[in-house]
Amino acid sequence: MSFDAAPTDLSGKTCLVTGANGGIGMATAEHFAACGARVLTTDIGDSFAGECQTDHHGFDLMSDAGLDACCDWIAAETPDVLFNNAALFDMGSVLQADLAQHDRLFAVNVRAMYAVMQAAAKALVAAGRPGSIINMASQAGHRGEALVAHYCATKAAVISYTQSAALALAEHRIRVNAISPGVIDTPMWKTVDSLFARFEDKEIGQKKREVGEAVPLGYMGRPFEVARVAVFLAGAQSQYITAQTISVDGGNVLR
């Protein structure tokens, strides 16, 4: 993977990335490593698929056993930076999306996101160390979409938990922020595009092309463009920023 490393110095810091084999997670792990951090990665699979050196553990965050094991690992490692990124996407309007879909999406996007954030925060507080927690929200968390009922709700929850956690943890010098990407060209978009093709009767690839063309900056975002903001939120350059949700969306959402 080639990119221009940001100037932020993360040497001496341990940064943990969930969903590290996905598009944004992998780019962020690579950027943290390029900035000198020791990088810990996790995803469902047992190895990290990126190029940089990481200490990787495979956990399925949808299962209680996997989530507990991941939280134990976080407690043992006490990372300075958490990039809380693993998530699932699925579609359906309020007339279509059932509770099984609700439970799957909330299990990973909200329940696991919360548990992982809590484990990282508790470890830092116990160690008396500052830290930076970065939760992955979405433009979908800022307004509902007719065909995306549950996923939008999970991302609204991420934004709310980010604010509550930031206010609770400020006295411990732990900052908590979220990133709201717009449309970023990652493996998740293969799923998103094929679901929209089915729900909106489009050709495969059509929705992806349309959403990219509709972005005010004129193209679908690339994972490194999110990773650079993660580096900023991880490092000292953002030391007076907490409880915020930063949009990285080419101008898609105005609020």
CB 24 within 8 A of CB 226: yes
Of the residues 33, 87, 124, 166, which one makes contact with ligand NAD according to CB under 6 A: 87
Number of H helices, E strands in the chain: 8, 7
Binding residue for ligand NAD (CB under 6 A) from 14, 15, 19, 124?
19
Q: Is-contact 112 67, C-beta < 8 A?
A: yes
Q: Is the dihedral of CA 161, 63, 120, 80 positive or negative?
A: negative
Instruction: Indicate which residue of 151, 161, 219, 240 is catalytic.
Output: 151
Q: Is 175 helix (H, G, I), strand (E, B) or coil?
A: strand
Q: Does residue 37 bind ligand NAD (CB under 6 A)?
A: no
Answer yes or no: 151 catalytic. yes
Task: Sort 71 into a burial class: Cβ within 10 Å, 0-12 / 13-18 / 19+.
Answer: buried
Chosen residue from 6, 16, 17, 23 binding ligand NAD by CB under 6 A: 23
Among 13, 14, 15, 21, binds ligand NAD (CB under 6 A): 21
Closer CB to ligand NAD, residue 13 or residue 207?
207
Q: Does 187 bind ligand NAD (CB under 6 A)?
A: yes
The alpha carbon dihedral of 209, 211, 213, 219 has a sign of negative
Determine, following the binding rule CB under 6 A, whether residue 85 of this chain makes contact with ligand NAD.
Answer: yes
Residues in touch with ligand NAD (CB under 6 A):
19, 21-25, 43-44, 60-62, 85-88, 108, 136, 138, 181, 183-184, 186-189
